[in-house]
Structure formats: structure tokens, C-alpha cells
Chain A
Amino acid sequence: MSELFAAGPAGAFATWVAALVTIGVWSYLLGQRRIFRLAQQLLAGLATGYLVVISVRDVLVPRLVQPLAAAPLQHPELWVGLALVVPLVLAAWAPRRIVAVPVAVLVGGTAGFALGGAVAGTLMPQLGASLVSPTSPGGVAGGALGLVVTALVLLSFLHGTRRGRIMGGVTALGRWMMVAGLGGFLGFLLVSRLTLLVDRVGFLLGDWLGILR
């Protein structure tokens, strides 16, 4: 039981809607594209409406409108933010040079956060963790295997240089390692999606039909 809906008429109605939409989406498997498209449009419309509501209610009003209305001079950073957002909103009509400023700030800020976090939070700690000398034979073997696989995959990206026979074999092996990695990822994806399908079947049998308890 998902227990997402409360007991009572509203919960029963929500369960029925969810069940019918689930069956509507599955109808695509039987070639019924109209119902599937309707469900798609319903999802897109609801998601857009939800985003608008959450943007207005949780972001714009409490974090921009209310502080500016209450004390306009105490929040200079909000005025700067507003000045950057307005050209973005008017991007279709505003001159490119004006629009480029907030876009540059946006891209630069995002890249700064992402790059800084990736180096300080992932690259350095992970390098440090992999440099720890393993104590058990299994750890040594695992570390060596990891090193070999990493080297092979990195070598498979070697472009622009002449490859000899050995190097050609090494890069081909590296590519196969990547394919094996992708296969493993797809395996995880398959299990994940399968669990969702089983969950939906469980929802129909349990929450909707009440056969499973």
C-alpha cells in the first residue's frame, strides 16, 4: 500500500484517478496512443502549473515581493537580483549585450559552484581515498585492478596520435571496459525500472482493487 492518499471519499477518488491514469499510460503498450498522449499532456500541464505555483508561493512572494515591500532599502541585493532577472525575462526583445550580462552571471555562478564542489568535494577526497595503502591482499588486488581499468579507459580516449599494434589493442580493450561499465549501469537501470513496474502492479492490486493487503 502506498498510503499516499487519506482514507475517505477524497482518497478513494485520488486512488481511482491514479489507477485509471496508470492503465491509460499502459494502453500505449497495446497501441492506444490517444489515451497515452492525454496522460502525457495531463502530466505536462500539471507539472507546469505546479512549478508556477511553487515559484510564486515559495520563492517570488516570500523572498522577493514581501521583503522589498516591507523594507525596500534594507535589501539592496534583491534589487541587484531583480535588475539581473528583468533582462532575462525580456530576452526576446532586449538587446543582446544587455541580456548577455545576467546570462554570464548565471553561467559563471553555476560553473563556479559545480567546479569548486567537484574539485574540493569529489576529486581531491576521492584521490585521497584511493591513495590509502590497502592492507589485505584482496585490497591490493582490487586497487591494482581499479588502476588498470582506469588506465585502459583513459587510454581509449587517446586521439590524434599514431597508434601502433599494441596501443591499438590497448585502446580497444579500454573501449570494451567502457562498454562493460555501461552494461553494468544499464543493469542497475533495468532493476530500478522493473521495481517501478512491480510497484505499479502492486498499487493496482492493493490500493485500487484491494486484493493485496
Chain B
Amino acid sequence: MSSAWRRRAFLAPIVLLVLLSLAELAPRLSALQLANPDASRAEALRAALAAVPADGVALVDIDADLGTYPEVRPAVRAALDQLVRRGVRIAVVSFSAEGRAIASAELDRMQRLAPAAPLLDLGFRSGAEAGLVRSVRSIVPEGVGGAVAAEIRRRGGGLAAFDAALLIGGGEIGPRAWVEQVRTRVPQLQMVAIAPSVLQPELEPYRASGQLKALLATVRDDVAYVSAVGGWSAPRPGVAPVSGREPSALAILLGMLVAIGVLVEALAGHLLGPVGSPASRGQEER
């Protein structure tokens, strides 16, 4: 590789990071809206969570993975916020170790910011899909007490005790496993999901067929949902707000343009053959 190419390869990531930083720092442009103007999916999730009775119990399954969770985090927090604001009792469960780590962090955050929120930590359930099936009959571990646990036991103690299930996907056990293993056994349980973009092709058919009542699986829908439920706003007393800023549309646009540029360059190098490829140019220079 020539020194010019080495310098380019060294500088390119720095330039990209500087560009992204500048885009993050730049004021949000009204011409660049990240939120999906078609808010039907965001509205479907908002309506599904709003349909949970105020004295109801919602199950939140956090089985995201650490690699994709930041993408869905604002939408997840906004959904939790929507439930907490209405006084809905929330039970949090995880069927993957990675999801449990995220759930612990989110529970810790909620207990810090909304100490009065009626939360129940159901912990980690082992056994992957088998554990999911076992939870249909009994989900509250022995020895777990409190008002929320008592209410779930009073309603039968299994997944049928919940008014709705909010599924945070991304890991090994996701909304698809819930549809396949739980919906076939507890068809009355309303299931809504928030998942990263990579799962959108896999999960969209379940939303279209009605097996998932609502699904957010793109950044644009996530942003539209957070805006719809009043996120990105100042902290409110007694609830855990979605603070921070909306993801920068300019930064994502810049990143997309850089990625497309890299693809075009690679394609051009491939089409032009030995004459145009960086490797051959390096060889020639050598």
C-alpha cells in the first residue's frame, strides 16, 4: 500500500468521527426530520399501550442485545414512561443473560428517576424457548413478594395474568419466539414489540398479520413514537422521562452518504478491474 493510501486510510475514520460530532453539535434543521411522517405505526403502539387499563398489569420483556439496544433505547424508555404515567403496574422479565443486564440497568434507572413507579423485577428466566413456555403457567418466582406479584398470582400467576406484553427484541429470544411459543398458548395476550432495524424484515409479517398488535422497528418510527408520547422533553416529577436529544438526522444522513460513497468506490474499483482497484494502484506505485 502506498503512503498516500495509508494516509487516506488513517485519516478517513477521523474525518468521519469529526463530521459526525459536528453534525451532533449542529442545531437541528427543520428541513431534516428523522421522525417518520407516517405516524401510523407509532400511533398503533401508543394506542395499544393506552388500552392497558390504569389498574392493569403490563409485562415488559427486555431481551435486547447490547449491540443494538442504543438504537431502540429512547422508544423503550418512552413506552415505559407512557405506562408509568398512567399508573400501570409493570413486571420486567428477561429470557437471555444479555437482556437481563440491560433490564437491570433500566430498572436501576427507573427506580432512581421514578421511585414511586409500581415495578416488579421478575429477573432472569433460564431455558430460552422452554423457559418461555414454562412461564405461560407460572412466571413469578417463589419468594418474590409485593403488590404487583400478589396481583399477578391472584390472576393465575402465568402470562395470561397480564393485560399486555411489551417485547423488547434484538437478542436470541425476541418477538418472533414470543409469537411462536406464547401467542399459540395464550392468544388473548396483546403483544407489542420494539426491535432494532435489523429485525424489521423478520417481524413485519407478524405485524401485518395482526399477531403483533404494534411494532416499532425503524429509527424513524421510534423517533415518531417518542415525539407522539411527549418525549425529548423536560423531566416530569414522579416519572422517568426520556431525556436527551432526538438522534441527529444530519449525522445519520452524513453517515449514509459516506457509506454509499465507500460502496460506490468499491463497486467502481471492481468494475474497472486491475486498473482502478486501490490494491493494484498500490502495486503499480510500488
Interface residues of chain A, those whose CB is within 8 Å of chain B, are 1-4, 6, 26, 29-31, 50-51, 54-55, 58-59, 62-63, 109-110, 113-114, 117-118, 120-122, 125-126, 128-129, 181, 184-185, 188-192, 194-202, 204-206, 211-212
Contacts and interface: CB of A to CB of B under 8 A. Distances in A.
B245 A199 contact: no
Contact of B209 (A120, A129, A181): A129
A54 B197 contact: no
Given A113-B130, A125-B211, A129-B210, A201 B251 contact: yes
Contacts of A125: 209, 211
Nearest to A114: B129
Interface in B225-263: 243-245, 247-248, 251-252, 255-256, 259
A122 B251 contact: no
A206 B243 CA distance: 12
Contacts of B17: 26, 201
Given A1-B244, A192-B198, A197 B255 contact: yes
B242 to A, nearest CB: 9
Given A113-B133, A211-B25, A196 B180 contact: no
B25 A212 contact: yes
Nearest to A29: B13
Contacts of B176: 122
Given A2-B73, A59-B124, A199-B73, 19 more contacts: A3-B244, A6-B112, A30-B10, A30-B13, A50-B101, A59-B126, A113-B129, A113-B130, A113-B181, A120-B180, A121-B211, A125-B209, A129-B205, A189-B197, A195-B247, A198-B251, A199-B247, A212-B25, A212-B245
Interface stretch (B64-72, B154-162, B268-276): B64-72
Contacts of B143: 62
A31 B70 contact: no
B100 interface: yes
Q: Chain B interface mostly helix, strand, loop or mixed?
A: helix
Contact of A26 (B13, B105, B108): B13
B124 A58 contact: yes
A209 B266 CA distance: 36
A125 B187 CA distance: 12
A121 B180 contact: yes
A92 B257 CA distance: 52
B171 interface: no
7 contacts: A30-B13, A120-B184, A191-B218, A198-B248, A198-B251, A201-B21, A206-B244
Contacts of A200: 70
Interface string B15-29: 001001100110000
A192 B71 contact: yes
B22 to A, nearest CB: 10
Interface residues of B, number: 59
Contact of B20 (A55, A59, A120, A198): A198
B118 interface: no
Contacts of B25: 205, 211-212
Contacts of A26: 13, 17
B123 interface: yes
A205 B21 contact: yes
Given A58-B126, A129-B205, A198-B255, A3 B13 contact: no
A201 B71 CA distance: 13
Contacts of A55: 126
Contact of B177 (A117, A129, A201, A205): A117
A101 to B, nearest CB: 18
B252 A109 contact: no
B8 to A, nearest CB: 13
A42 B14 CA distance: 24
B166 interface: no
A195 B211 CA distance: 28
B85 interface: no
B103 to A, nearest CB: 11
Contact of A3 (B101, B109, B130, B180): B109
B24 A198 contact: yes
Contacts of B56: none
A26 B251 CA distance: 18
Contacts of A204: 21
Interface string B180-218: 110110000000000011101100010011110000001
A5 to B, nearest CB: 9
Contacts of A190: 256, 259
B180 A117 contact: yes
A180 to B, nearest CB: 12
